[in-house]
Amino acid sequence: MRIGTYLAEKHGLDVTLIDYPDGFMATNLRSEKVTILPYSDEGATHVPADAIIVLQAMNPWSIFPGLSVCRETRLIFWNCLPFNLVPALPGLREISYRTPALLMASLSTLLAGRRKTNRQLVEAMHGRHSIFFMDEENVGAVRRFLKARVDDPVFLPIPVADPDLSVVRQARDLHHGALRVVWVGRIADFKHHILVRAMLDLDDYSRQSKQAVELTIVGSGAFAARVADQGSELEFVDLTLINNVPPDQLDAFLTDRADIVMAMGTAALDGARLGIPTILLDPSYGPVSPAYLYRWLFQESGFTLGRILFDPASYPGGTPLTDMLSDFTADSQRLSQLSLTYVATNHALPKVATKLVYFAERATYKWGDLVDSGANRRDWIYRAFTFARNLVGRGR
């Protein structure tokens, strides 16, 4: 929505967003220059032949069934989650993604056919300049789990509005007030474990330092109740849970309520672009050990907005949270400027939008190529799982 609005309003491109009538983009789009095309799984949403359709990369058999796409329409995958193209055993997705040995075993046996298909798809799209990766973590996943050959990958980072580098964020006297930390983001399967770890570490920091801490969690999702239960056990942190902040109010909310943002993905950029020092958190499908260390967003490389955690041996390097917060207390303005500069250099919307247009003009993979490859056909194991699940449902 962000990048489409920018391209339509600043570059005059013909941009259409496809979304469910009650979807996020359909309900939050504010530009009259962008068209919303309503989507239904049971309908036939027609994509023009002369268009370029950009989808978040996904197992191709799961591409939205209500799309009606011409063979000549060019197709681009934007890989924005490391496991977008890594298949997992149906019904065992979460445990597979937190257990690399199990995932690799399934990819070498029951899912060997799908793994080969997705590897060939990635290599074909890469060879025709039609798959973009948001960061090096996403490239690493297709190399490691699909064994795909992706030389000289195309990086298209996640964009946010151009930060104002003239912003000078005033330091607060924490001797007479609480340290205000804000989390923003969906509370999904791969996000809630690291959020719980951060909550526990903030509670421990407050206990040791005698520094009052106010933690505001903005987000909803299937795991929100678990986070709320964990929050009720915090002894020193003052916790506030907020279901949602409208996108057009988020800047003001963060500016007013956050000394530090802790987040992953786009939410981390939303904080840093305002000059709020942002601690980058990492996705995990299992509990995160107390051995986990933290780092500022601007300390990352390869446009990375979170690295998949499997076990302590896989954790990226970092610094104990206590030391991070001591650095903030000593020199918050320096951290603020480093955050602004990092976002302006790597994720500013005008730069990313220009890259997208340049890359899209070179993309030559077509929808017909996908159909001819057979990659969008569902494998037997997924058909069997769906049949069994429906059969059990009818039995109930």
Instruction: Tell me the mean pLDDT in the region 203-216.
Output: 96
What the block records as the tokens of 143 is: 């190399």
The pTM of this model reads 0.90
| % of residues, the chain, pLDDT over 70 | 97
Query: Cβ contacts of residue 22 below 8 Å, gap of 6+?
Result: none
Model confidence band, residue 389 (pLDDT cutoffs 50, 70, 90): low
Residue with tokens 């020092």, as numbered in its chain: 277
Q: Considering only CA atoms, give the Rg of the chain.
A: 22
- What is the structure's pLDDT at 198? 97
- At residue 267, what is the residue type? A
- What is the structure's pLDDT at 391? 66
Tens digit of pLDDT for each residue in 59-83? 999 999 999 999 999 999 999 999 9
Tens digit of pLDDT for each residue in 104-122? 999 999 999 999 999 999 9
Please return the burial class of 222, using the count of CB atoms within 10 Å of its CB with bins 0-12, 13-18 and 19+.
exposed
Q: What are phi and psi of 112, to 5 degrees?
A: -60, -40
Sign of the Cα pseudo-torsion (290, 296, 299, 300, in order) = positive
Closest CA to 274 of 356, 182, 174: 182
Q: What are phi and psi of 240, to 5 degrees?
A: -125, 130
Tens digit of pLDDT for each residue in 153-183? 999 999 999 998 888 787 777 777 899 999 9
What the block records as the tokens of 45 is: 């949403």
Rounded CA gap, 99 and 88, in Å?
11
- What is the structure's pLDDT at 357? 96
Q: Are 302 and 137 within 8 A, CB to CB?
A: yes
Model confidence band, residue 380 (pLDDT cutoffs 50, 70, 90): confident
The Cα-based distances of 102 to 107, 112, 122, 378, 384 in angstroms read 9, 13, 22, 22, 20
Cα pseudo-dihedral 51, 55, 60, 64, rounded to 10: -80
- What is the structure's pLDDT at 169? 80
